[in-house]
Amino acid sequence: MMSISDNLLNIRHQIPQEVTLVAVSKTKPVSCVEEAYRMGQRDFGENKAQELKDKYEVLPKDIKWHFIGHLQTNKVKYIVPFVYLIHGVDSYKLLMEINKQAKKVNRIIPCLLQFYIAQEETKFGFNLQECREMFDDIYFKNMQNVLIQGVMGMATHTDNQKQQHSEFKTLKNIFETLKQDYQLSQDFKIISMGMTEDYHIAIEEGTTMVRIGSAIFGVRQYSMN
């Protein structure tokens, strides 16, 4: 059986050096994070605020914690004191709440805007028009406690690789368009796309950050509670 260490080494060999690997540890115990940590892994991703906070409290403080899922506004306050990057900012309302809570703890929180690129009805995210409206809003321009560092997206879960290529291309184009149209600074630099099933495709399409869970930690078992 392959261990977490073997999996991690194996994946690192397949990812270009400049691409950041976020190890998605959701549902997995602290001991799994520790094993990856011993292999030098420092970027970890979680998609539940409470679970993230619990793991943060017991694990080494040099871990960079990424929040990767849909974040409810009432949960923002639990993670702002320590979160490293919030990937799934899918509404203006959520961004405002992050800004508000970040101000209270005197932090500037790096955020990625999630775009809806898949042909699935359950995925969250902006479209380009909604994003433009936000960027043009006066209140947005005055937000002091969030830093938009790039975009995030999820491709359709499908065997059709051509479709996945095309969806990742769309996200890359959105990134380039925003960067150009709004003359965004060097801080705007992250394209977070690619998971266990499709990270090879995302790499071909220019990802800068992949979020990989099951290929490192094994399949997840969800409890019923």
Ligand X SMILES: *Cc1c(COP(=O)(O)O)cnc(C)c1O
Binding site for ligand X (CB under 6 A): 24, 26, 47, 68-69, 195-197, 211-215
Q: Give the 3-state secondary structure of residue 29.
A: coil
Of residues 195 and 201, the one with the C-beta less far from ligand X: 195
Provide the minimum distance between the beta carbon of 7 and ligand X in the complex, in angstroms, as a whole number: 11
Structure tokens at 84: 């490293």
Burial of 222 (0-12, 13-18, 19+ CB in 10 A): exposed
Provide the minimum distance between the beta carbon of 70 and ligand X in the complex, in angstroms, as a whole number: 8
Of residues 104 and 220, the one with the C-beta less far from ligand X: 220
Of residues 69 and 110, the one with the C-beta less far from ligand X: 69
In the complex, residue closest to ligand X by CB: 213
Provide the minimum distance between the beta carbon of 95 and ligand X in the complex, in angstroms, as a whole number: 17
Provide the minimum distance between the beta carbon of 109 and ligand X in the complex, in angstroms, as a whole number: 18
Of residues 15 and 143, the one with the C-beta less far from ligand X: 15
Separation between Cα atoms, residue 47 and residue 22, nearest integer Å = 12
Separation between Cα atoms, residue 6 and residue 8, nearest integer Å = 5
User: DSSP code of 126?
Assistant: B
Q: Give the 3-state secondary structure of residue 107.
A: coil
Of residues 85 and 215, the one with the C-beta less far from ligand X: 215
Of residues 88 and 178, the one with the C-beta less far from ligand X: 88
Q: Taking the mean position of all CA atoms in its chain, how far away is CA 142?
A: 24
Q: Which of 75, 208, 73 is nearest to 153 (CA)?
A: 208
Whether 144 and 100 have beta carbons less than 8 Å apart is answered as no
Provide the minimum distance between the beta carbon of 213 and ligand X in the complex, in angstroms, as a whole number: 3
Provide the minimum distance between the beta carbon of 89 and ligand X in the complex, in angstroms, as a whole number: 12
135 to 2, 47, 119, 175: CA distances (angstroms): 46, 26, 25, 13
